Amino acid sequence: MFLSGKTHESEISICFTGIFQIVAVNEISQTSSFWQFVVHSPPVILKNLNKKIETKEDDTVTFDIKVQGDPKPEVKW
């Protein structure tokens, strides 16, 4: 006899990435299985640069940005 467990449908986001376990139990025994669930996402710029940056010659400038994605995005200038 085959019985399927209750399923849950949801819109997937990167926060679902992780290791999950399913357990089947009856009065004779129990068994379990683990699996890894990985959600990939496209690159997103979370913190952008100001549209205009002014400086003087020979100054040091730091560009502070923040990106997110899976696999981790490569930032190119």
Phi-psi group of 69: left, alpha or beta (phi > 0 → left; psi -120 to 50 → alpha; rest → beta)? left
Per-residue pLDDT reduced to its tens digit, 12-64: 777 778 898 989 999 999 999 998 988 888 999 998 887 888 899 999 988 88
pLDDT at 34: 92
pLDDT at 32: 94
Per-residue pLDDT reduced to its tens digit, 57-66: 999 988 888 9
The Cα angle at residue 34 between residues 30 and 36, in degrees rounded to 5: 165
User: Which are the contacts of 34, defined by CB distance < 8 A and separation ≥ 6?
Assistant: 19, 20, 21
pTM of the model: 0.51
The Cα angle at residue 61 between residues 59 and 63, in degrees rounded to 5: 170
- Of the pLDDT bands very low, low, confident and very high (cuts 50, 70, 90), residue 74 is very high
